[in-house]
Chain A
């Protein structure tokens, strides 16, 4: 019934707009027979072009004023993070300058040269010098950006295994994450989904006969010691997932049938990040929003929202099915001692198996 009603209302609105347009249309019909722009149209639309330039600048200023904190350009928590942030900011400045100038020229010319009867346009078809200049300028700017980008990229992606990185496997499945630590030998045991045995709780398909696998540790929270390089090996058991850790400027797809990798060094512990003034403000603001929402919920007799506390997150960022929107894992960066203490509390793989 409500469905029918809605369709009727929508239909009604459509008809109303339709009729309004029709009235408008009929009112116009007698005034001006030509549907080609005349001087008045040119004048009106010329001024609107100028106004629209103002609108573009306005929305830019408002956007920066309201949402200009741009979390992805500051307060990164990994060693390579500031490099990406710097490149990002440089690119954005270049974009901002080009955008401001070209939009001005485009809309200003559209206003300035609005048509008038009897005026003749300038016959100006070519200018090799001019075209050469505006081919070369982008070439130079882009060459700089490309060079900078490529150095940054190879810096991040070339992993130096001599640094003895901590080996961690990120394991993705619909719709959760697991982490596997390599244990004291820092070598991940062999694994394949074909070895998964749910009966004895071998959920990640580790090779039970591999000595390297015995001391592996499987967890549902990702703890990382601050200051030590971490080399992530990624696996997925079912569909594509993407391990996205925005605070660390890190992301890599998890692909069934192959192992992908990404490495970074966390530099800021969770505790330190919570005390960072920017993050502190952000959290305060989010809690303000949540309190407001909670009041609305409570008025409806529903549960209020929890208080939010900052944590690093691992999100799934590749469409993976129904609960894609809720596939996440908490990341905790802590001191080496705290990390070791936590790891020691976890069950080793060989002890986690259920003996039947």
Chain B
């Protein structure tokens, strides 16, 4: 507590004792709000690149090997005469996955909203360590730059899939992209992981130590619970990927054999002996699966907050929501083997992983039901953020349900690595998390920039995106059920799949339309940043503490004392109160009981 007093006194003469220059305010800022904006803007830029790549892939799949001037313009030597090269197709697959999973949906989503909301919602002046926070962002920035630079190396960027399974990723002889491109990929990811760990440690310490008076763990908004647990999962699993990356670097550059054995390639036997690619798969998916929840939990946390606020109702089953976050977090660390049912590991392990995997459906189902019940008999304010949150619940259900098929080892034999998988994970983690990101931006834009986003553009953005997302990924299940493998540069060598070519064209058209309409968001975002309507302090009439801070950003967040907390975050439409919201800093009335949650 003494820390608060300290910072508090120190804060009264805010603005006098340290001069802020352009560099300290906008570039090497240690203020969590500025760092959040930096994360968001970097994430949006990477998102534009990632989505553009997916459109190039979609055009190649729909109109295979046909000259296309867009390819010629954007891919240069990789599209001689406008015909896309097979190697660059795999590179697009790889980099699209990497960018979207790590740079957009991990750093862009978690980095933005954990940074923005943790101090503001728990009532802290800033993160536990502003300096580490700054370092964390700049390492992320550096890793983004390295990843982008890797597009331009002579032999092409990494092209072994975002899972970079060795030996393909280890041997330049196997694939051009496994030369300098893969080195840069590994360096970029190693730096990214360090950035992510610094961020996560900071979030954990801040949530545990810097909560304001009265903010007990059971009064935390669900956003904070989600960010907190996400950070814990990150700290548990990211180091394992770091070790996998380091071992792979050793195999590639220093002749060790952790993942390689008995290889004959291009007419020669390589010296590697005794390693196993399956070991790499274990290490990779020990992060890779929790990563799905690192991406998804923050989105669900944002959704919880947005749905409760805009339903003008308490979130239904707060305790169950927290319990299911904890259950998902725990289970997520013991299900990684479901990516490896047919990797050659012992079939008995497959049984174990089937069991744990299907268990995860239970907390997920509880979350979905609780969201739906929160809507029931609400007074729904259908703001753009609310639409994206409802959209998230919808795609989370549609995408999550097919997990019952993929998590079942017996069924996975059949649909493993087909388009069915692509449809499943894009809906359940890609689109859902993206919706979470959008919901967060629409909801907290006023908090970030002091201005409002245009709601009508928001409505157009949502409805077109929602239709296109289903238009792209729903039919994709069906070509998966025809047995079509993913990551094929063209399907024209298999007449068996000729009857899926129309579906591919349909999907591509939806993808292009959906992609183009993201420009509406981009315009809204940039324009509103400078010319949007000025916001009032609490535009959504929300209960959480960030809306008690002044609109104008200031170092230390609150001009006077930090507000104290007297109730949970979900006293919406509480009987006995005039208005339909009671912020957390309002003391209980005489005789008013706090809900036992």
To the question of whether A and B form a pair in one complex, the answer is: yes
B371 neighbours in A (Cβ, 8 Å): 106
User: Among the listed stretches A66-74, A209-217, A339-347, which one makes contact with chain B, having 4 or more residues with CB under 8 Å of it?
Assistant: A66-74
Give which listed residue, B174, B386, B456, contacts A321 with CB less than 8 A: B174
The 0/1 profile, CB within 8 Å of A marked 1, for residues 256-271 of chain B is 0000111111010100
> Is A186's beta carbon under 8 Å from chain B?
no
The smallest beta-carbon distance between A44 and chain B, in angstroms, is 8
Cα–Cα distance between A26 and B456 once the two chains are bound (Å)? 11
Question: Which residues does chain A contribute within 8 Å of B59, judged by CB atoms?
Answer: none
CA distance A139 to B365 in the complex (A): 10
Which chain B residues (43-94) contact chain A, with CB distance < 8 Å? Answer: 69-70, 72-73, 76, 82, 86-87, 90, 93
Residues of B within 8 A of A142 (CB): 358-359, 361-362, 404
Q: Which of A19-45 contact B (CB under 8 A)?
A: 21-22, 24-25, 28, 33-37, 41-42, 44-45
A45-B455 Cα distance, complex, nearest whole Å: 12
Q: Are A67 and B264 in contact (CB under 8 A)?
A: no
Residue contact B411 to A149, C-beta cutoff 8 Å: yes
A42, A123, A158, A257: the one contacting B313 at CB < 8 Å is A123
Q: Give, as a whole number of angstroms, the nearest-CB distance from A300 to chain B.
A: 11
Q: Does A98 contact B (CB under 8 A)?
A: yes
Are B69's CB and A6's CB within 8 A?
yes
Closest A residue to B420 using CB positions: A72
Q: How far is the CA of A48 from the CA of B314 in the complex (A)?
A: 25
| Bound form: Cα–Cα A63–B380 in Å | 32
Contact, CB under 8 Å: A106 / B390: yes
Known: A35-B455, A70-B482, A72-B481. A193 touches B175 (CB 8 A): no
Q: Is the CB of B487 within 8 A of A319?
A: yes
Contact A153 B350 (CB under 8 A): yes
Q: Which residues of A contact B9 (CB under 8 A)?
A: none
Would you list which residues of chain B between 390 and 405 have a CB under 8 Å from chain A?
390, 393-394, 397-398, 401-402, 404-405
Q: Does A201 contact B (CB under 8 A)?
A: no
Q: Is A121 within 8 A of B379, CB to CB?
A: yes
Is A323 part of the contact surface with B, judged by Cβ < 8 Å? yes
CB within 8 Å for A17 and B417 given contacts A125-B597, A239-B174 = no
Give the complex CA separation of A308 and B499 in angstroms.
Answer: 12
Q: Which residues does chain B contribute within 8 Å of A91, judged by CB atoms?
A: 404-405, 408, 411
Assess the A256–B277 pair: CB atoms within 8 A.
yes
Whether the Cβ atoms of A21 and B263 lie closer than 8 Å is no
What is the bound-complex CA distance between A75 and B564, given in angstroms?
67
Complex: A36 Cα to B66 Cα, angstroms: 47
Once the chains bind, are B313 and A325 in contact (CB under 8 Å)?
A: no
Shortest distance from the beta carbon of B219 to any chain A beta carbon, whole Å: 13
Contact among A98, A106, A114 for B382, CB-based, below 8 A? A114
Per the 8 Å Cβ criterion, residues 439-485 of B in contact with A are 452-457, 459, 463, 466-467, 470-471, 474-475, 477-479, 481-483, 485
Q: In the complex, what's the smallest C-beta–C-beta distance from B144 to chain A, in angstroms?
A: 23
How many A residues are at the interface, by size bracket? 35 or more
A59:B474 contact, CB within 8 angstroms:
yes
Bound complex: CA A298 to CA B86 (Å): 25
Complex-state Cα separation, A125 to B572, whole angstroms: 10
Bits for A1-20, please: 1 = Cβ < 8 Å to B, else 0: 01111110010001001100
Report the stretch among A49-57, A176-184, A219-227, A267-275 that lies at the interface: A49-57
Q: Does A138 lie at the interface of the complex (its beta carbon under 8 Å from any beta carbon of B)?
A: yes
Please state if A113 and B411 are interface contacts (CB–CB under 8 Å): no
**Closest 5 pairs (CB-CB, A-B):** A257-B261, A246-B483, A157-B347, A35-B452, A260-B344
Q: Which residues of A contact B (CB under 8 A)?
A: 2-7, 10, 14, 17-18, 21-22, 24-25, 28, 33-37, 41-42, 44-46, 48-49, 52, 55-56, 59-60, 63, 67-68, 70-73, 83-84, 87-88, 91-92, 94-95, 98-99, 102-103, 105-107, 109-110, 113-116, 119-127, 130-131, 134-135, 138-139, 142, 145-146, 149-150, 152-154, 156-158, 173-174, 192-194, 196, 198, 205, 234, 237-240, 242, 244, 246, 249-253, 255-258, 260, 282, 285-286, 289-290, 293, 305-306, 308, 310, 313, 315-326, 328
New contact pairs (14) apart from A94-B404, A131-B320, CB-CB < 8 Å = A6-B70, A14-B519, A44-B459, A98-B397, A106-B397, A109-B375, A123-B575, A126-B319, A131-B317, A135-B365, A238-B263, A256-B167, A282-B499, A318-B417
